[in-house]
Structure 1
Amino acid sequence: MTSDANPAAARERETRRVLEQLRAFTRRLNRNWSSYVPELTFSDFMALRAVADLDVPTVQDVARELRIDKSSASRRVAALERDGHVERHQIPGERRAQELTLTAVGRRTLAAAERTNLATLGERMADWTDADIARLAQLLERLNGSEPTA
């Protein structure tokens, strides 16, 4: 943080810098996504990641995880299902809810996308020290309110 006669103004300025950099990173990721992973949109990837991460995921769970409405999640899941990335299975004892599972194609696509993401980010941080990368991970975990994993 730069020195400033008004610490609150300096903090706000630095917070804006963080927000601008997060936006720039997100825009770059979205803009370049199709060249990295042409078989999925970034939104498709996020939905596929949610299905993989959630325990007995439903469309409602995907909507909640992605913070989108259920109809948007339903359309996204339908597209993934149509492209062979996910399947729906009836949940025993449930009349309407269906469990979503990744297909073999979905697992391969997700793994390829993850490898591409890691390689791309690794290239962007190639000249960073291990300590810089660890510090960024720590700060992002703190920003996102999660507990460090190790």
Structure 2
Amino acid sequence: MRIWIDADGCPVVDLTIRLSTGYEVFLVCDTAHQFSRVGATTITIGQGADAVDFAIVNRMAPGDIVVTQDYGLAALSLARKGRAIDQNGRIFTNENIDFLLHTRHVGQEIRRAGGRTKGPKKRTRQEDLAFEQSFVRLLADASSIS
């Protein structure tokens, strides 16, 4: 099992690496966001619509974990028999992904029509704790299946 981090704009890169001791961790980013961290291998992908997402999906194997806030990448990861979690600790499942994709679609329609949607709030310590708890649980669940 490997850990894939959609590193562009991910606020839990360092926390994920720290929690992933004993696992291979990959930071995947585009050329606009250079990353380098001890404990992880960085893969830099050329810029392009969803280039990082496709790079992760094409490299991942069943059972791998993807850390992403992108519902589309989460859905693709689940389709590849992987697991996915967002930066706030929400574990993506086959039961919740359709609703989340629909929510994303509605937001895109509002923005295309000239409307505005809320941006992200300032990150809190509680969100880091929620991520940590969910990620540790996900690692334990994935390890017991492998």
> Normalising by the residue count of structure 1, what TM-score does the alignment of the two structures yield?
0.25
> Normalising by the residue count of structure 2, what TM-score does the alignment of the two structures yield?
0.25
**Higher RCO (C-alpha 8 Å, min separation 6):** 2
Structure 1 or 2: larger strand share?
Answer: 2
Structure 1 or 2: larger helix share?
Answer: 1
